[in-house]
Structure 1
């Protein structure tokens, strides 16, 4: 720890406390997670799910990077050093204050989430705790060029002027600073991640209620990567409306909230056909799971998804969402299928096949841009974490590789988030502790990545 200068505390969760720090030699700003559990050896550390998942996964732009791990023998304290992210999707949603995001921004954020999921699923890992707080966001500055795909990483600052423009509503907002930035999205917090091939049954509590798949709510002991895609569907809906799609107050209420929109999964197909084939589809296994826990799905017709969204919502969005929110996990889109869905073609988002080099993908995007001046994501927003206390389910990481970026000699300025609304909506609040600088130790064991 003597290599780092402690800046401030960022948050405190069930498994660890997170502090912001700066590497003394390189100047890179990082997030250091101090685990609450004590570890007697590296063998014990290697059994930790988060550590195992991040070691297995190759580096990828949409996955948070673990830079170093420290085990201090004297105190048996374990530290993870991550790249630092400015905030998370939950903070972005609350900071909008009811001003919906532009559709192309929603598509771009969702596409990056799915790229991250495809990466972990293809390497045999599923997340199990997908929610806005675990989707980490920073902004980066675009450099104007022919292809729009060369960027500099913006410098992050701890103080920001209150008059800086914040997240803008549409691409027609004439805010130059908004045009010069875009969102970088990474999946974080792999504390509940498991291998897809790992031995069932799973009996531990996973995911946050509002984003929890029906098979998890019904206490199934056998589930896999489709639960991540259900969560993406609920997150996508929340990105579009800035409100949770299924805000259940308990597990049972959560199932009722889902049924109110998707109908009864045990109903015959003709029931759903009465309202145009909408709903979550038939799910025979759901009846067995519900019976085992003494739950009965209400006998109600499904509602069109369009009833939960603005009238101008395009049909291709609703069609895409409906294929994520299927009762039967076997009927949900996979991450790969989702990335290839026509929903993203409207914004020139092209997914490279597993065997397709990244350069080919970039060339395809450049060619599409030349044919279409209305190119993807010409405006972005600005996001930093709030530093108030009592922040609900605070997230702890950021993006950069430590490189600074000058913007006409000045670092791009980002506005603070207003998280007052967050405290009123989510009740799982906590008080951030005061974290003192960690004293250096002479016999720290390190692992670099």
Structure 2
């Protein structure tokens, strides 16, 4: 008996594909990330940065929950079992003709930045903040996902040069040869903030040079002082001879947004990463004043107590890498059912932990009604969009 039954394919990336599946025993639905690479040993699985990061960050209300790791050593196949969310942030806004409710935008951004703050305080930065990696439940509950690109804040620079999806890539990721840090996550979140406010991507560059030109047209070209900082770490393929531009400003692009929203957006999109707000500073911005819980004492608010509880474990010391500070994954986490991999033809393209789609029995009417009700709830906030728009997004290049 196989443990999971394949329902549908939800998406595919360079290194993995994500499938919707149902647990045969309890009938609960899950998102299962099937890795395309093969892993030679349990030790190699233990060292997978995504698993290590999720173990350090969990549990947290705004971080996707890793429920199970399935590893078959003979075949080298690996699958990560996650809780299933209804949609991602891009799917929520795709094809919309009316702006999202300002209160919903405020709530979604607050949850996103809480997840960034928790992650950064734990010594990790994401490196691929974009709408597709931000998952939504019931059109309002947010969880950050896809930690496959994450790194330890204290690991040695330079990092991988080509990281993050281009449209959400911070200037320091383009202009330097791998010298960047957690501030790039705040930049990505600022781009997401603009996108859910305007329903359009802020910097949809076609290549890295076009990406820089788009940034300069809106934010203005950087000062010579900023460029001098980047110059010592410059990427060999980028010329620093930029024509001076004042920039059109963000306020002209989202005139319907509040003054606080535009101010926060601008401070999250500061060219110099050293002057960009940190995630913790973003949470203290006036834009979120209504979401911050009233104080329970003269010194600490309920919100600060909650955030402290999320980071109760000690933060890694400087100089300690992500890999060095995490314990190995033990058998209790790798709850692999050997039967889940048995008797599957090696040429089958479907991961062997799943039954074939045509093996799915008739669903119970109650389950179907429940899922339809959830789908209707989401579609009240998001209209159907075209596949063509989706095809041009999510590419890392």
- TM-score, length-scaled by structure 2: 0.75
- Matching residue of 2:326: none
User: Does the CA-based 8 Å contact 1:70-1:78 persist in structure 2?
Assistant: yes
1:103 Cα deviation from its structure 2 partner: 0.8
Change (3 A) 1:73 1:223: same
Change (3 A) 1:61 1:350: farther
2:269 to 286, 301, 325: 325
More helix, by proportion: 2
1:313 aligns with 2:257: yes
1:205 Cα deviation from its structure 2 partner: 1.9
- Matching residue of 1:356: 305
- Matching residue of 1:414: 375
Change (3 A) 1:95 1:424: closer
Greater RCO, 1 or 2 (C-alpha within 8 Å, sep 6+): 1
- Matching residue of 2:392: 427
- Matching residue of 1:9: 9
| Unmatched tracts of structure 2, length 5 or more | 296-300, 310-365
| Unmatched tracts of structure 1, length 5 or more | 140-181, 269-281, 361-405, 431-449
- Matching residue of 2:328: none
1:262 Cα deviation from its structure 2 partner: 1.4
Give distance in 1, aligned partners of 2:7 and 2:21.
5
- Matching residue of 2:111: 112
Aligned-pair Cα RMSD in Å: 2.9
Per-residue CA deviations over 1:176-230 (Å, capped at 9, x if unaligned) read xxxxxx5111111101000001111113421111110000011332211000000
Give distance in 1, aligned partners of 2:235 and 2:17.
41
1:284 Cα deviation from its structure 2 partner: 3.6
Give distance in 2, aligned partners of 1:208 and 1:357.
32
- Matching residue of 2:26: 26
1:227 to 172, 184, 197: 184
Per-residue CA deviations over 1:377-397 (Å, capped at 9, x if unaligned) read xxxxxxxxxxxxxxxxxxxxx
- Matching residue of 1:202: 159
Change (3 A) 1:289 1:426: farther
2:215 to 255, 258, 273: 258
User: Does the CA-based 8 Å contact 2:42-2:73 persist in structure 1?
Assistant: no
Give distance in 2, aligned partners of 1:333 and 1:283.
19
User: Does the CA-based 8 Å contact 1:94-1:422 persist in structure 2?
Assistant: no
User: Does the CA-based 8 Å contact 1:344-1:350 persist in structure 2?
Assistant: no
- Matching residue of 1:183: 140
User: Aligned runs of 1:159-178 on 2, under 5 Å?
Assistant: none
Give distance in 2, aligned partners of 1:429 and 1:102.
25
User: Does the CA-based 8 Å contact 2:221-2:244 persist in structure 1?
Assistant: yes
Tell me, what secondary structure is at the counterpart of 1:414? helix
Per-residue CA deviations over 1:150-186 (Å, capped at 9, x if unaligned) read xxxxxxxxxxxxxxxxxxxxxxxxxxxxxxxx51111
Change (3 A) 1:223 1:350: farther
Change (3 A) 1:199 1:354: farther
- Matching residue of 2:121: 122
Give distance in 2, aligned partners of 1:46 and 1:209.
30
Give distance in 1, aligned partners of 2:142 and 2:294.
17
Change (3 A) 1:294 1:348: closer
Give distance in 1, aligned partners of 2:130 and 2:65.
19
